[in-house]
Structure 1
Amino acid sequence: MRHKFTNLTRKNMLLAGGVCVLLLVAAFYFYMGTGKEAGPRVRRDVPEVKVQEVVRQDMQRHIVLSGQTVADASINLAPKYGGRITAVYAELGDRVEEGQVLMVQDLGDLDISIAQNSAAAGAAWADAREASAAYNANIISKKNAYELAKAKYERQKYLFSIGAISQDTLDSVEQEFSASRAAYEVLANQVADGGAAAVQSKELTAQKQEHATEALKKQREDMILRAPRSGVIAYRSAEVGAIAAAGTKVFTLVDNSHINIDCSIAENDAAILQTGMPVNVTIDALGRDFAGKVIFVSPAMEDGAKSYQVRISLEDADDSVKAGLFAHTAVDILQRPQTIFVPKEAVVTRNGAQYVFVLVEEDKVEMRPVKIGLLNDESEEIIEGLNEGEKVILSNQDKLQNGMKVKVTEA
């Protein structure tokens, strides 16, 4: 019985060992079979690329302009001087004309001051006339006395020369002559620029009073707030009886008679965009297009924004176009006629140099250095290194090396 159990155990062990050997053989065969099939497939795997044929044509730059509509003018109006408001002549939304009175402040005190200064100026001019008359009479008197004393002195000199009078008599006459001459010269030397100093002083005082009166009249005029141009009242905070503070906004005047669009562009676009270019502007809120023209391109970059300001004038805007609406347009500008350029994705940079991969045979590429010229959003001009009719690679350049074979999937 024990001998039968031992034989049975050995048979089972041999059977198990055979099964293990078969499994190992099958695994080895499967491994070796799949390895042989995968080897040729990996060696046959080549990069798939897209290509494009190079043709000589006009290179253009597509510039998109977007911004907001702005009124020809939006002016905040504020009184120059503080004062109580006595009248308001404009309501919110009113259309006003240039020079129209919008608001009046209390003018009573100014009117009194103007009257006082006008009277003072009149009195000063009267003093000037009185001084002028007195001076003219005085100088005539002094001149006559001087001339008489001079003549008398000349006669006494002659009499002295012939011994008719003494030296004391001549000296006395000479003193009289000297005093008359000094009195006349004091008045005569006051004259400058055609008038005597005493008279000019009175006249300048009168002019000062007149200027003070004019200043008060100007202040009075400034306290009557007028529209600086035609437009619509878009803001109002003025009420009769309220105190208007100097420099505080009481009205906003908007002139929508002409509409512009302000946009910002990058430096590459600003370098080629020119004033006078016609554009077709779309205003989305109105669902309409309007003819426009570029009227301004900023000559300098805006600080902080790092962009350039562009203004477009709408040529045929109507009352439906209001300030603050979003608008956009685009222009195509010729950069270079009949030149060679490729899509940006065709150019690769390695070690600081630019290259393109060129399809030189049906399935072989060549890595070729190129020199770049003009750029736009989509293309780069090739100045050297590429000829018309050649085909450049547009995809999978990171997997390519010079002389590698490729599979062209799309042209």
Structure 2
Amino acid sequence: MTRKKMLIAGGVCLLLLAVALYFYMGTNKDTARRVRRNMPEVRVQEVVRQDMQRHIVLSGQTVADASINLAPKYNGRITAVYADLGDHVEEGQVLMVQDLGDLDISIAQNSAAAGAAWADAREASAAYNANIISKRNAYELAKAKYERQKYLFSIGAISQDTLDSMEQEFSASRAAYEVLANQVADGGAAAVQSKELTAQKQEHATEALKKQREDMILRAPRAGVIVYRSAEVGALAAAGTKTFVLVDNSHINIDCSIAENDAAILQPGMAVKVTIDALGRDFTGKIIFVSPAMEEGAKSYQVRISLEEADETVKAGLFAHTAVDIMQKPQALFVPKEAVLTRNGQQYVFVLLEEDKVEQRSVKIGLLNDESEEIIEGLNEGEKVVLTNQDKLRSGMKVKVAES
């Protein structure tokens, strides 16, 4: 083979080697690119110790200090109405009067009957006192005679028949006196007490009628505003039927419902700032009540907030909301909720190791809030936990860490 042919053959070999090397390197680059494309991209967060807080949102409606339905206690025709819709009324102010004519007649009749019964009692008392005095005197006289007759009989001055006759007279006098004397109990004779009790019964009946008369005059139980009225002069008011509604807005509360986890943290006395959207204003308030028991129907707990500086612009039924930040635990180790996964009742997280590899690690959970979960076992401060794409991960897998 000539030198020229040898050079040509060498050049062809070099060319083929270069082409092979080019395709080899390109294939490796594509493979590496495909590997990088197939690596899950994850966001991570470093675990550090800091104060763990719970953010509790409270929302509800404004509630008047009192909203009272007023209704007559008895049936009766309305003779006068003294309150109109929107009127401010004071405690004890008369709102409505029902027909009192028949009651006034009954009260007069019962009062007269009570007076007559007391007169009968006094007459009975006088008669009893006179009678018992008479019987006592007769008994004492008969007793003295009998004692004297017993002495005369002992000396033979009288016969047995005479003594027996005097003894019978004495026994009759004693029996008549004891019948009256034994009627006395608690300082009074039975016949007199019966008359007195009849008089008292008549007096109680009169008082009951007077109470009924008073109940037929409907009065405001407290100061407030009349927000409902269905009473008209001449109409028949039925017992128990609402005729007025009285609302006392002098003090405003807000009733809210919260979940059990929040109920365990909130305490009466906590100060809050309440926003009422309809008024575009904030008001200072204080939590005054946290229900000690869950409401069965709603499966929640009731919380009441008292507004401290509410004015007349704040009406019942307005939507209001506030929020409370409460320290759960100082310098706790916690992670976002999305970092914690559960499988077969076991909680775990993925931890980012060196060379961007991940490790599945079991953890023990402590306190919870809406955003975070405390880690009391399984993680150390300074480690990084994965927040996304955990369903694509397994221990030892390499990942691509997204930029923060």
TM-score by length of 1: 0.90
The letter of the residue matching 1:374 is L
Inter-partner Cα distance in structure 1 for 2:224 and 2:185: 54
Q: Which residue of structure 1 aligns with residue 317 of structure 2?
A: 324
Contact 1:278 1:292 (8 Å CA) reproduced = yes
Contact 1:68 1:324 (8 Å CA) reproduced = yes
Q: Which residue of structure 2 aligns with residue 89 of structure 1?
A: 82
Q: Which residue of structure 1 aligns with residue 97 of structure 2?
A: 104
Inter-partner Cα distance in structure 2 for 1:159 and 1:302: 96
Inter-partner Cα distance in structure 1 for 2:403 and 2:48: 17
Q: Which residue of structure 2 aligns with residue 307 of structure 1?
A: 300
- How far off its partner does 1:37 sit? 7.0
- How far off its partner does 1:281 sit? 0.3
Q: Which residue of structure 2 aligns with residue 371 of structure 1?
A: 364
- How far off its partner does 1:368 sit? 1.1
Inter-partner Cα distance in structure 2 for 1:386 and 1:162: 126
The yes-or-no answer on 1:42 pairing with 2:42 is no
The SS at the match of 1:184 is helix
Q: Mind listing any 5+ residue stretches in structure 1 that lack a counterpart?
A: 1-31
Q: Mind listing any 5+ residue stretches in structure 2 that lack a counterpart?
A: 1-23
Inter-partner Cα distance in structure 2 for 1:40 and 1:230: 83
- How far off its partner does 1:358 sit? 1.1
- How far off its partner does 1:367 sit? 1.2
TM-score by length of 2: 0.92
1:159-179 Cα shifts (integer Å, max 9, x gaps): 111111111111000000100
Q: How many residues align?
A: 380
Identity %: 87
- How far off its partner does 1:114 sit? 0.2
Inter-partner Cα distance in structure 1 for 2:360 and 2:230: 73
The SS at the match of 1:410 is coil
Inter-partner Cα distance in structure 2 for 1:62 and 1:131: 82
The SS at the match of 2:356 is coil
Contact 1:47 1:399 (8 Å CA) reproduced = yes
- How far off its partner does 1:407 sit? 1.3
Inter-partner Cα distance in structure 1 for 2:333 and 2:345: 22
The SS at the match of 1:112 is helix
Q: Which residue of structure 2 aligns with residue 201 of structure 1?
A: 194
- How far off its partner does 1:40 sit? 4.2
- How far off its partner does 1:33 sit? 12
Q: Which residue of structure 1 aligns with residue 272 of structure 2?
A: 279
1:320-359 Cα shifts (integer Å, max 9, x gaps): 0001111000001111111111000010112221111111
The letter of the residue matching 1:407 is K
The SS at the match of 1:372 is strand
1:214-267 Cα shifts (integer Å, max 9, x gaps): 000000000000000000010111111111111111111110000010111111
Q: Which residue of structure 1 aligns with residue 249 of structure 2?
A: 256
Q: Which residue of structure 2 aligns with residue 236 of structure 1?
A: 229
What is the 5 A alignment of 1:115-126?
115-126=108-119
Q: Which residue of structure 2 aligns with residue 386 of structure 1?
A: 379
2:396 equivalent among 385, 394, 403: 403
Q: For the aligned residues, what is the CA RMSD? A: 1.5
The letter of the residue matching 1:222 is D
Inter-partner Cα distance in structure 1 for 2:112 and 2:27: 120
Inter-partner Cα distance in structure 1 for 2:175 and 2:59: 86
